[in-house]
Amino acid sequence: MATAIHWLVAHAETRPGLDDVARAAGLAPSHFQRLFRQEVGISPKRFLQYLLGREASRRLAAGESVLDATYGSSLSSPGRLHDLAVTLHAMTPGELRDGGRGLTIHWGCHDSPFGPVGLAMTDRGICHLAFVGAAPDANAFRGTLQAAWPGARLLQDHARTAQPLTQFLGAGGYGPLSLHVRGSNFQLQVWQALLTIPAGATTTYQALASAAARPGAARAVGTAVGANPVAMVIPCHRVIRTSGALGGYRWGLNRKRLLLAAEGSLARGA
């Protein structure tokens, strides 16, 4: 589906029909329609309408504020990448000091509508979620985890790690998610503030700094945003520059555009 979304973004102005998009994805139209709706949460037609409407561009250019609870409630959506109650737990000082000694981390690599991801979790929640290569190397992802947590016990368990990803993307039962992350007190403040940004909306680094009670630390906030260990769930892709420019994104600006476009189309009732 990531390939299909990229193709739609690149060819939106030509107004391709279902047959055109399905052909680009190498699937029969009826099968592609079902698969796209299942994985992305909306129909290809609705996603194309959103792209043609340039709604994302308008919001980004306007620097729309999102740290407003009433606005957040107006953006609720039953689709994928919906707002979830997310609880953020910090690693204990002992776990940090000992490189995760005593922790068991389950991990696996999975497909998502926005590209393959690697997910790792402890018994207290997701500790790492990252986009990986088009042909994910499980050993490389395991090596990343081993370097970060040399004292932890790593167990590959695709069935177990698929559940929170499915829960987040919305294909299964909805409910709260727990995160178990390593970070400084400042980073945790910033990540907690990121969790207040509703799906389908954006904020600026300056506004995020104010939300984290550090109004003069926009640059430091940007560094903390970039250190986010849980892609998509802690929504660092929803932060843009005051000018309305997208700014940077660890996983690439094109993926950032796709995430914002998908969330925006869902939030507008797609």
CA atoms within 13 A on the CB side of 270: 28
Q: Give 174's contacts (C-beta < 8 A, 6+ positions apart).
A: 82, 84, 167
CA atoms within 13 A on the CB side of 1: 24
The region that residue 99 occupies, defined by phi over 0 for left and psi between -120 and 50 for alpha, beta otherwise, is left
Distance CA 195, CA 178 (A): 12
AA letter at 32:
F
Using H for helix, E for strand and C for coil, what is the string for 183-244?
Answer: CCHHHHHHHHHHCCCCCCCCEEHHHHHHHCCCCCCHHHHHHHHHCCCECCCCCHHHEECCCC
Question: Which of the following is catalytic: 109, 193, 236, 262?
Answer: 236
Contact criterion met (CB below 8 Å) for 239 and 190: no
| 239 backbone dihedrals φ, ψ, rounded to 5° | -105, 130
Query: 127 an active-site residue?
Result: no
Token match 């991801």: residue? 117
Catalytic residues: 236
